[in-house]
């Protein structure tokens, strides 16, 4: 058994945790979303001694991981997280799952018992490494203080892989507190895989056949990538669309309209019906979210040929530029949307009135976080021609992402207003994000779609073949009795808010929220 006493540090030495924080800062990882415990106290102390690292506290690990997801999507570089052992990691699982599906760059520091304490099966012992591998693309355990800085540099490099990766660095307590002289320089960022000429040629041949062809794309849909896709489609008569859920889209006036594959399998199959060539751009063949009795789950038509232009981790823009040239679309201009905002509505409040209000007032450069679920569709449609903005979408289907993601996006982009479209069911998974928004004074407007039910599950109840639900079953899908009071919940965490029941009330509240700094919540009762 090793001695648990902490050795004195000689001149020039620092703790393993201090070496890790410095390695992060040197690699331009300068934000840490944290919810620490006893085994992470030396990392907390290291954060306090390094002015290059900003620390943001989340009251629940799902806030921490969701915020790191929003930060990474907008910043294009990883934030660090700090979580306590296996249970803390477990609390952060849902939004780690979403980040993994989004391919968000993220570095998770997961505390672990001291190396010599792991043998005793203490109450908080668990298979931290095994748990981490279920939600992280890359995992490593630091076994010595001398390894910590180098392992941290590796974790950052892995997170910045061309496709983006969620990484997990497991930090036993003694490797954090033991002294070391080790340092680590930032490692070079990996280049994307170059486009293959044969892939470009095969896709160009498919596009030139004149047969119905669709380009399906995932990843960051920047305005430039959308323009390249649109030029290809306009020059060849093909269509292009994104997967149903993609991590980030640059959209609005002056940009190309972006069509997304519908969520429901029947609608998606109808959109793809008759397609003879499906060209995959950093994605996979589309499938339904779930299996349904007697319904197809593979959405590509049986007589459709699949072509891969570029895999995840490949040079997407290089591939699209090469395909533009191969189909002779260099002189084809993309079709850009003109600025247009809908008139404000009046009367009863419904999702369409909320969509009109958001689209009418949305400021240029806003970041919209979409977890509106069944109520969010009209906002998505009506903001197509609004002022230019970014749109971040729930990628992994695990609800409770909206408010944490908005928190991280606001930390990444403090000069831009963040608008969070939040269904009330999903919102109750992670309302603690409001407290962090208040503490950090973040410019976030949260719109709660308060329909007081899990509306998507009420729809899915019939779709999966579970017919004739009785009162006990329906009570599992209802959020009433008692009704949630979102304004009171927000006030309890330091965020001002207002409840609105009319379109006029919503329009006033939304416009007012954009003029005032800091967070604000609108409970829109539907």
Q: What are phi and psi of 444, to 5 degrees?
A: -130, 125
Q: In 410-519, at which residue ranges do the beta strands (DSSP E only) sit?
A: 418-423, 444-450, 497-500
Question: What's the pLDDT score for residue 266?
Answer: 87
DSSP conformation letters of 456-469: HHHHHHHHTT--S-
CB distance 170 to 128 below 8 Å? yes
Question: What's the pLDDT score for residue 12?
Answer: 74
99: which residues sit within 8 A by CB, 6+ positions away? 65, 66, 68, 69, 72, 106, 166, 396
Please count the CA atoms within 13 angstroms of the CA of 336 that sit on its side-chain side: 15
Q: Is the peptide bond before 482 cis (omega within 30 degrees of 0)?
A: yes
Please give the Cα distance from 393 to 258 (Å, whole number).
13
Question: What's the pLDDT score for residue 1?
Answer: 41
Please give the Cα distance from 518 to 117 (Å, whole number).
44
Question: What's the pLDDT score for residue 90?
Answer: 97
304: which residues sit within 8 A by CB, 6+ positions away? 272, 275, 276, 277, 278
Spans in the chain with pLDDT lower than 70: 1-9, 11, 453-468, 472-477
Residue-wise pLDDT for 15-59, tens only, equals 999 999 999 999 999 999 999 998 899 999 998 899 999 999 999
Question: What's the pLDDT score for residue 277?
Answer: 98
CB distance 318 to 426 below 8 Å? no
Please give the Cα distance from 286 to 243 (Å, whole number).
8
Question: What's the pLDDT score for residue 293?
Answer: 81
Question: What's the pLDDT score for residue 233?
Answer: 98
Question: What's the pLDDT score for residue 111?
Answer: 96
Hey, what domains does the chain have and what are their CATH numbers? 14-180 (3.40.50.970), 197-326 (3.40.50.1220), 351-525 (3.40.50.970)
pTM tops 0.85, yes or no? yes
Q: Crossing angle for the helix pair 351-361 and 503-515, nearest 10 degrees? A: 30
Q: How far is CA 308 from CA 84, 120, 206, 312, 484, in A?
A: 41, 51, 11, 10, 48
């Amino acid at each position: 058994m090793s001695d648990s006493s902490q050795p004195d540090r000689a001149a020039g030495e620092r703790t393993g945790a201090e070496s890790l924080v410095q390695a992060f800062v040197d690699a331009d990882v300068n934000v840490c979303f944290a919810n620490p415990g006893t085994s992470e106290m030396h990392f907390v102390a290291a954060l306090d001694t390094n002015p290059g690292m900003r620390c943001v506290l989340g009251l629940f690990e799902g806030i921490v991981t969701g915020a790191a997801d929003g930060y990474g999507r907008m910043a294009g570089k990883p934030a660090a997280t700090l979580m306590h052992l296996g249970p803390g990691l477990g609390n952060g699982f849902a939004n780690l799952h979403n980040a993994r599906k989004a391919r968000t760059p993220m570095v998770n520091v997961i505390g672990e018992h001291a190396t010599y304490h792991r043998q005793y099966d203490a109450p908080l012992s668990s298979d931290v490494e095994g748990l981490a591998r279920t939600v992280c693309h890359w995992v490593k355990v630091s076994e010595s203080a001398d390894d910590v800085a180098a392992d941290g540099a590796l974790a950052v490099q892995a997170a910045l892989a061309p496709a983006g990766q969620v990484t997990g660095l497991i930090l036993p307590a003694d490797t954090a507190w033991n002294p070391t002289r080790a340092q680590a320089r930032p490692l070079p960022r990996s280049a994307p895989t170059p486009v293959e000429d044969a892939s470009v040629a095969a896709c160009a041949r498919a596009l030139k056949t004149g047969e119905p062809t669709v380009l399906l794309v995932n990843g960051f849909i920047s305005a430039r990538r959308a323009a390249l896709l649109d030029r290809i489609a306009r020059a060849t008569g093909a269509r292009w669309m994104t997967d149903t859920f993609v991590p980030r889209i640059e959209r609005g006036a002056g940009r190309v309209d972006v069509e997304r594959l519908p969520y429901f399998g029947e609608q998606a199959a109808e959109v793809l019906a008759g397609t003879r060539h499906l060209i995959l751009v950093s994605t996979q063949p589309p499938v339904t979210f779930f299996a349904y009795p007697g319904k197809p789950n593979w959405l590509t038509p049986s007589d459709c040929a699949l072509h891969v232009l570029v895999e995840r981790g490949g040079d997407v823009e290089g591939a699209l530029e090469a395909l533009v040239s191969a189909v002779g679309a260099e002189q084809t201009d993309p079709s850009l949307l003109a600025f247009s905002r809908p008139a404000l509505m009046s009367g009863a409040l419904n999702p369409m009135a909320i969509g009109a209000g958001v689209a009418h007032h949305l400021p240029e450069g806003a970041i919209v976080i979409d977890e509106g679920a069944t109520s969010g569709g009209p906002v998505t449609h009506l903001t197509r021609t609004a002022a230019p903005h970014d749109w971040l979408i729930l990628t992994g289907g695990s609800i409770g992402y909206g408010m944490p993601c908005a928190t991280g996006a606001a930390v990444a982009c403090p000069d831009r207003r963040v608008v969070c479209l939040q269904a009330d069911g999903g919102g109750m998974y992670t309302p603690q994000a409001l407290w962090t928004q208040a503490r950090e004074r973040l410019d976030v407007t949260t719109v709660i779609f308060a329909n007081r039910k899990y509306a998507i599950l009420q729809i899915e109840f019939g779709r999966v073949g579970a017919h004739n639900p009785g009162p006990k079953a329906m009570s599992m899908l209802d959020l009433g009795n008692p009704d949630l009071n979102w304004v009171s919940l927000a006030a309890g965490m330091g965020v001002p808010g207002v409840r609105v029941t009319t379109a006029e009330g919503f329009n006033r509240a939304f416009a007012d929220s954009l003029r005032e700094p800091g967070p604000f919540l609108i409970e829109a009762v539907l």
